[in-house]
């Protein structure tokens, strides 16, 4: 398990070392709707742009603090401080209102050799969605080919699809162990697996997952599972919070599943093969568990969350959001009603750049006490 945590901690060192070792290009991406399959097909390492949970003061002259979420401002701060100086390119897929200005500020104020904006559908339930996004994938592929100076063949695309599908499949196999009465893996460890997969070469990550899967059946944790919790919400790679809940509470608790874009929503479904590889890739991103900014007019995401809650036997859900995250903020009231009407108690927390550990510990402890009383 230490390998995944180390990858998360040394993400920049890993990318720099990979670049020196392979001579390949590294592209940062904002938003998990960017088709990494095409980047792997071109022998490019995709690295997700994430924050470091520190005050995003460097971003203040470029992004309005009272309007945009702390995660977005933290990401730009990391770029302005030179933490991502190894990137050769930057890609974003049509994302929420807050991530778009981060991308354009990065391009304008930090500079990058290559950048591309994928016009990903917001209407992922509309009739022409597959045709539209397939065309966008074609344009993105052409742009990458022009940049790297080589043609991306169907064989190359098959390679990229296989790299991504294998990693998704193996991660879901690991997540199956979280369904057990006494999971041999914690929510914190699961987060480190999911986050590190977005930072390192998927082939190396998949190799580590295969080794882990050999050991998980016999692995036992010297801890009580306690209340089975679920996290639902916007981007969340805050390991400090999970560590606090799983290791620092009077009452035991374990996060057994989550629905957010740094966790299960990132890897949940695979590319289903089609003769047109780009159409298959487009379909995967349109049909994946949706972000709330794209989950309309029907709320397809809610049934997916409920299904996860039932499969992983969730006893309570912490519905969290980054401060000023409007897509989730608009979803939260009705989502909580939906879950509670289906017998799943919920508790809401709003996250800033750093976690107020003392305050959150008290609030989560009180939530756990209510569920003990229910039993």
Rounded to the nearest integer, the mean pLDDT of the chain is 93
Domain at 21-153, CATH class = alpha beta
Report pLDDT for 322.
Answer: 82
Instruction: Tell me the per-residue pLDDT of 266-321, one tens digit each, with 9 for 90 and over.
Output: 999 999 999 999 999 999 999 999 999 899 899 999 999 999 999 999 999 999 98
Instruction: Tell me the per-residue pLDDT of 216-267, one tens digit each, with 9 for 90 and over.
Output: 999 999 999 999 999 999 888 889 899 999 998 899 999 999 999 999 999 9
Measured between alpha carbons, how far is 227 from 345 in angstroms, rounded to an integer? Answer: 12
Report pLDDT for 374.
Answer: 58
- What pTM, to 2 d.p., does this model score? 0.95
Which two tokens mark 140? 């993105």
Under 8 Å between Cβ of 122 and 95: no
Burial, 33: exposed, middle or buried (Cβ in 10 Å; 0-12, 13-18, 19+)? Answer: buried
Instruction: Tell me the per-residue pLDDT of 66-119, one tens digit each, with 9 for 90 and over.
Output: 678 888 888 999 999 999 999 999 999 988 888 888 999 999 999 899 999 999
Helices (H), the chain: 2-9, 11-22, 36-41, 70-80, 99-105, 129-148, 154-176, 187-197, 202-215, 239-247, 264-267, 277-287, 300-311, 326-341, 357-374
37, pLDDT greater than 60: yes
Instruction: Tell me the per-residue pLDDT of 122-172, one tens digit each, with 9 for 90 and over.
Output: 889 999 999 999 999 999 999 999 999 999 999 999 999 999 999 999 999
Domain extents in the chain: 21-153
Torsion angles phi and psi, residue 255, rounded to 5: -80, 115
Which two tokens mark 36? 């990494």
174-178, 303-307, 330-334: segment of lowest average pLDDT = 330-334
| Length of the chain in terms of residues written | 375
| 57 Rama sector, left if φ>0, alpha if ψ -120 to 50, beta otherwise | alpha
Report pLDDT for 356.
Answer: 74
Report pLDDT for 97.
Answer: 81
Largest CA distance in the chain: 64
Report pLDDT for 375.
Answer: 53
Report pLDDT for 84.
Answer: 96
Under 8 Å between Cβ of 348 and 319: yes
Torsion angles phi and psi, residue 265, rounded to 5: -65, -25
Coil, strand, or helix at residue 46?
Answer: strand
Instruction: Tell me the per-residue pLDDT of 253-269, one tens digit each, with 9 for 90 and over.
Output: 999 999 999 999 999 99
User: What is the residue-wise DSSP string for 241-309?
Assistant: HHHHHHHS-SS-EEEEEEESTTTHHHHSSPPPP-SSHHHHHHHHHHHSSPPTTT--SS-HHHHHHHHHH
């Amino acid at each position: 398990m230490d390998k995944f945590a180390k990858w998360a901690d040394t993400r920049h060192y890993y990318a720099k070392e990979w670049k020196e070792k392979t001579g390949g290009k590294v592209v940062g991406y904002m938003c998990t709707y960017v088709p990494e399959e095409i980047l792997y097909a071109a022998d490019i390492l995709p690295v997700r742009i994430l924050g470091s949970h520190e005050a995003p003061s460097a971003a203040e002259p470029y992004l309005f603090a009272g309007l945009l979420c702390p995660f977005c401002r933290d990401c730009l701060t990391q770029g302005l401080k030179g933490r991502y100086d190894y990137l050769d390119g930057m890609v974003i897929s049509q994302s929420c209102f807050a991530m778009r200005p981060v991308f354009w500020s990065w391009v304008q104020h930090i500079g990058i050799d290559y950048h591309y904006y994928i016009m990903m559908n917001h209407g992922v339930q509309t009739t022409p969605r597959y045709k539209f996004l397939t065309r966008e994938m074609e344009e993105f592929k052409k742009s990458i080919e022009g940049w790297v100076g080589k043609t991306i063949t169907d064989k190359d695309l098959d390679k990229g699809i296989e790299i991504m599908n294998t990693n998704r499949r193996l991660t879901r196999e690991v997540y199956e162990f979280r369904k057990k009465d006494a999971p041999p893996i914690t929510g914190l460890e699961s987060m480190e697996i999911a986050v590190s997969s977005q930072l390192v070469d998927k082939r190396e990550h998949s190799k580590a997952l295969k080794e882990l899967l050999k050991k998980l059946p016999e692995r036992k944790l010297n801890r009580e599972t306690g209340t089975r919790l679920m996290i639902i919400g916007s981007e969340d790679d805050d390991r400090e919070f999970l560590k606090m809940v799983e290791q620092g509470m009077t009452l035991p608790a374990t996060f057994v599943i989550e629905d957010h874009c740094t966790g299960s929503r990132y890897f949940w479904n695979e590319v289903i093969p089609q003769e047109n590889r780009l159409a298959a890739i487009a379909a995967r991103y349109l049909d994946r568990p949706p972000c709330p900014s794209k989950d309309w007019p029907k709320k397809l995401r809610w049934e997916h969350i409920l299904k996860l809650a039932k499969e992983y036997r969730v006893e309570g859900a912490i519905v969290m959001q980054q401060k000023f995250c409007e897509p989730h903020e608009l979803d939260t009231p009705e989502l909580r009603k939906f879950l509670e009407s289906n017998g799943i108690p919920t508790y809401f927390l709003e996250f800033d750049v750093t976690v107020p550990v003392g305050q959150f510990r008290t609030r989560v402890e009180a939530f756990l006490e209510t569920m003990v009383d229910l039993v």
